[in-house]
Chains A and B, each alone.
Chain A
Amino acid sequence: MADLGKTTVHEREPVDPELIRDILAKHDGEQGGLIAILEDIQTEYGFLPEDALRTVAESMGRPLIDIYGVARFYHCFSLKPRGKHVISACLGTACHVRGAPAIVEELERQLKIRVDETTQDKEFTLKTVNCLGACALGPVAVVDGRTFSKLRRSKVKPLLEQAAAGNDGVEIGKDVRIFPVDVSCPRCNHSLMDDSFFIEGRPSIRVTVSFNHKHGWLRLASLYGRYNVYSEYEVPQSSVVEMFCPHCHTELTSSWQCPTCGAPMVQMIVRGGGVVRICSRRGCCGSRSHMLDLI
């Protein structure tokens, strides 16, 4: 039950107490600022070094056990150094029945580490999660924020190669992180795909938009992970638009908020199961960030 000793063996990284104090000063007096402080420390070092937590406890005048308890409670905090690329392989129910354990096993075998460990060269850290919200695409793994779907043992090797190469300069069709989606309206279920207008060689997604009392069409690339848009009127960067279904004229905006900019997110149904949400702010990078399962 208790992983006694497990957390004690990590090497002590040098920690600059001044840096920690700067972070503390930045959050001084914030109610419940501990999590924000720990987040900042983790951004700085990639994990939470023991000495950093001791400094935090000392400077805040709080018992170390409280700080440690918070750090151990949230999965996003790590007390061990992590690799450059963090692989989160899903072991949720849907992925499990689709063979996720074999994928995790294969990842362990190829990386020569176990779950929650980091490779010797500090390239990869392997973690498991319980559902990433993309069950229809399972088994799923997320590497550095990019989703790899429908994994099989044979796809593990290319996954690692691509992850090591980084996210930049990916090519459509060759890269599994960009894949086509067919979407429909969540209200009337009419397809939103438009065969008369192609973007990047794929039928585009057509919706009606309204901003500044103007109405017109907007066409989006139907490739998950691509953010190209064309519209009848020029939509100024970073303005928020309202989107409607061109068939039933229902507003597509959902009550979800964009995790990046806070604007409301537009929701569409993916054929084959799932929901895609896009941010309604022009130019927001979180544009296509969330896939959720519906089945």
Chain B
Amino acid sequence: MITLNINGLNVSVEEGTTVLEAARFIGFPIPTLCHMDGLSPYGACRVCLVEIGKEPRTKLVSSCTYPAEEGLVVRTASSRVVRTRRMVIELLLASCPQSKVIQDLASSHGVNKQRFKQEHDDCILCGLCVRMCSEQMMAKAIGFSGRGNERALGTPFNVKSEACRQCGGCIYVCPACQLRCSYTEKDSPVCGGCQNLPPPCLEKEKFDDMMCFMSPCVACEIAPK
């Protein structure tokens, strides 16, 4: 067993557990996008990032791929984490605003603007479909090809694949082609239709262990003004 400290609480977990699993085990929610139980960790979206280490030398890592270590100090919702996570979500919004999964992430994290060049990509390269196809459907029909900004998802030679069984698993997991967000505001990249609560309290002290980790956040509402 390994003991690590998450948001000030000591947790003991089996060796080989990821930080994400450990945090969820004791009830700290960490948002994820490219992670799915039953598929191997991939670390593509960076939504799940957490702050590890002791101040003043902390760093941000993706919790879905980071293995729990003895004595590791983890903060799942420090101001640095929340700030960076909102930036990650903003970048995701810039590439794929039609995804309901991403819009939901945006509204639950109080991301209500998007300052980058707006694109409407069909794919955010999260790799969920690739892992679904090879690890659960045992088909290995699709994958990534090319690199840099030419990296794209597809079948070999972009023709109908003989290996594909048309199971639909890839479409089922895809955050970009599942449910589409029906905008309330036509010209805004941020829908905000589902946003109901103010963002987490971010103006706390640096390295404050007990940052807000409630989801949805309620702390600021009950805090005395």
Chain A residue with the shortest CB-CB distance to B141: A65
CB of B222 within 8 Å of the partner chain: no
- B82: min CB distance to chain A, Å: 30
Asked, given contacts A1-B122, A2-B123, whether A73 binds B158 with beta carbons under 8 Å apart, the answer is no
Bound-complex Cα distance A4 to B158 (A): 6
- A68 cross-chain contacts in B, Cβ below 8 A: 143, 145, 156-157
CA distance in complex: A68, B156 (Å): 6
Chain A residues with Cβ below 8 Å from B154 are 2, 4
Q: A66-B140, A73-B146 are in contact. Are A1 and B123 (CB under 8 A)?
A: yes
Judge whether A64 is part of the interface by a CB distance below 8 angstroms: yes
Q: When the two chains form their complex, are residues A63 and B146 in contact, meaning their CB atoms are under 8 A apart? A: no
Over the window 35-77 of chain A, the binary record of Cβ atoms lying under 8 Å from chain B Cβ atoms (1 yes, 0 no) is 0000000000000001001000000000111111100110000
In the complex formed, the residue of B with least CB distance to A62 is B140
In the complex, whether A154 has a CB less than 8 A from a CB of chain B is no
Please tell me if B155 contacts chain A, counting CB pairs below 8 Å: yes
A-B contact count (CB 8 A): 60
For B144, list chain A residues within 8 Å (CB).
69
Residue in A1, A5, A8 whose beta carbon sits within 8 Å of that of B121 in the complex: A1
Taking A65-B143, A68-B157 as known contacts, 10 extra A-B pairs with beta carbons closer than 8 A to each other, sorted by chain A number, are: A2-B122, A2-B123, A2-B153, A2-B154, A3-B158, A5-B158, A8-B157, A63-B143, A63-B163, A66-B143
Q: Is the CB of A65 within 8 A of B140?
A: yes
How far does the alpha carbon of A1 sit from the alpha carbon of B156 in the complex, in Å?
A: 16
Give residues 141-190 of B contacting A (CB, 8 Å).
141-147, 149-150, 152-159, 161, 163
A79, B155: Cα distance in complex, Å? 15
Asked if A7 is at the interface of the complex by the 8 Å CB criterion, the answer is: yes
**A64 vs B143: C-alpha distance when bound (angstroms):** 10
A63, B122: Cα distance in complex, Å: 25
- Using Cβ atoms and an 8 Å threshold, which residues of chain A touch B153? 2
- What are 13 A-B interface contacts by the 8 Å CB criterion? A2-B154, A2-B158, A53-B156, A63-B163, A64-B161, A65-B140, A65-B142, A65-B143, A66-B140, A68-B156, A69-B145, A72-B146, A73-B147
Q: Which of A123-176 contact B (CB under 8 A)?
A: none
B156 touches A64 (CB 8 A): yes
Say whether B143 contacts A8, CB under 8 Å. Answer: no
Chain B residues, CB < 8 A from A3: 146, 150, 152, 158
Which residues of B sit under 8 angstroms from A63, Cβ to Cβ? Answer: 134, 140-141, 143, 163
Asked whether, in the complex, the Cβ of A73 is within 8 Å of the Cβ of B145, the reply is yes
- Please give the distance in Å from B129's CB to the nearest CB on chain A: 12
A-contact bits for B99-131, CB 8 A (1 contact / 0 none): 000000000000000000000011100000000
Distance A72 CA – B157 CA, assembled complex (angstroms): 10
Q: Chain A residues with Cβ under 8 A from B157's Cβ?
A: 7-8, 50, 68, 79
Say whether A65 contacts B123, CB under 8 Å. no
Would A1 and B149 count as touching, CB distance under 8 A? Answer: yes
Look across to chain B and name the residue whose beta carbon is closest to the beta carbon of A68: B156
Give the 7 A-B residue pairs with the shortest CB-CB distance, closest first.
A2-B152, A63-B140, A72-B145, A65-B143, A68-B156, A64-B156, A72-B146
**Could you say which residues of chain B place their CB within 8 Å of the CB of A65?**
140-143, 155-156, 161, 163
In angstroms, Cα B159 to Cα A5, docked, is 8
Q: Nearest chain-A residue to B121 (Cβ)?
A: A1
**Interchain CA distance A4-B122 in the complex, whole Å:** 12
Q: How far is the CB of A92 from chain B (nearest CB, A)?
A: 15
The closest CB in chain A to the CB of B133 belongs to A65
Chain B proximity of A273: nearest CB distance (Å): 28
How far is A3 from B158 in the complex, measured between Cα atoms in Å?
A: 9
Within 181-212 of B, Cβ neighbours of A (below 8 Å) are at none
Q: In the bound complex, what is the Cα–Cα distance between A63 and B134 (angstroms)?
A: 10
- Cβ of A69: which chain B residues have Cβ within 8 Å of it? 143-145
Q: Which chain A residues in 239-255 approach chain B with CB under 8 Å?
A: none
Contacts of B143 in A (CB 8 A): 63, 65-66, 68-69
Judge whether A8 and B140 touch: CB under 8 Å.
no
Residues of A contacting B150 in the complex (Cβ-Cβ under 8 angstroms):
1, 3
A5's nearest neighbour on chain B, judged by CB, is B158
How far apart sit A94 and B144, CA to CA, in the bound complex (Å)?
32
Q: How would residues 1 to 39 of chain A score, 1 for a CB under 8 Å from any chain B CB and 0 otherwise? A: 111111110000000000000000000000000000000
| Distance, CA A2 to CA B157, complexed state (A) | 11
CB-defined contacts of B123 to chain A, threshold 8 Å: 1-2
Instruction: Find the residue from A50, A65, A79 having the highest chain B CB count within 10 A.
Output: A65
